[in-house]
Homo-oligomer: A and B are copies of this chain.
Amino acid sequence: MKILIRVSYLGTNYAGFQVQKNAVTVQEKLQDAVESLYGVRYPLTGCSRTDSGVHAKDFCCTIEAGADCERIPFEKIPDALNVRLPKDISVFEAFLMPDDFHPRYSVHFKEYEYLIYNSRKRSPFYEGRAFQYPTELDEFKMDRAADMFRGTHDFSAFMSSGSGVSDTVRTVKYCRATRNGREVRVTVAADGFLYNMVRIIVGTLIEVSAGKIQEQDIPVIIESKERGRSGFTAPPEGLYLNKVVYR
């Protein structure tokens, strides 16, 4: 039986989602809770790996559970897991999925949001939850540049090395920059993301605002496939996996 659970978590205290040695991860905490609930350490598969310090508002993962798991009604699973989870991880929905569903391969698109706290002074309320950037950003310029990422492109220029993927073509559905007071948000949806892709897009948009990169050069940078031509990698604390849409 495949149970899909929808989870939100604050990534600050975790070395990302995926289990790894010598580091505390969200997956490990979820597997501990699942084991404590069912008495069996059922396998758990996530919709993506998130990096250390990255947050998720609607992360999807499946529990590959045995038939006996039916003794707990699905609507009771979130509360039953939450009492077994630390307060920075929360399950808000659980339901049964067909056996051929896969939380990663069945993804239609994912939406990420990057939050910039655009203020000269740091704020305790944004600490670990946004990237504090002191210079006034031009969100209109950033938004015009952001829109140029839309479409199907080889995004090699927006990928950190070390992931080992061979197919670097992705389709960006939309990429927008908006402002609400001191909060500047970059929202990107795509059928898939390369390693650090959102964070490099955000770094590039910030450099567009600063005049270091010209907005009309975005297509040229994409075309070049050279990481050296795009902007810096914005830090993880501003990044949120917003939603996952399945086919």
Knowing A87-B127, A88-B127, A127-B87, the reply to whether A122 touches B82 (Cβ < 8 A) is yes
Q: Please report the total number of A residues contacting B with Cβ < 8 Å.
A: 20
CB closest residue in chain B, given A9: B124
Q: Are B10 and A90 in contact (CB under 8 A)?
A: no
Residue with the greatest number of chain B CB neighbours at <10 A, chosen from A82, A92, A125: A125
Give the Cβ gap from A180 to chain B, nearest Cβ, in Å. 12
- When distances are taken between beta carbons in the complex, the residues of chain B under 8 Å from A87 are 122, 124, 127
Interchain CA distance A163-B123 in the complex, whole Å: 31
B contact residues around A89 at 8 Å (CB) = 124
Answer yes or no: A203 CB below 8 A from chain B CBs: no
A residues with CB within 8 A of B: 8-10, 55, 57, 78, 82, 87-92, 121-125, 127, 129
Contact A10 B125 (CB under 8 A): yes
A78 with B124: CB separation less than 8 A? no
In Å, the complex CA distance between A89 and B125 comes to: 9
- Could you list 12 examples of A-B contacts with CB < 8 Å? A8-B124, A8-B125, A10-B125, A10-B127, A57-B125, A78-B121, A82-B122, A87-B124, A89-B124, A91-B121, A92-B123, A125-B129
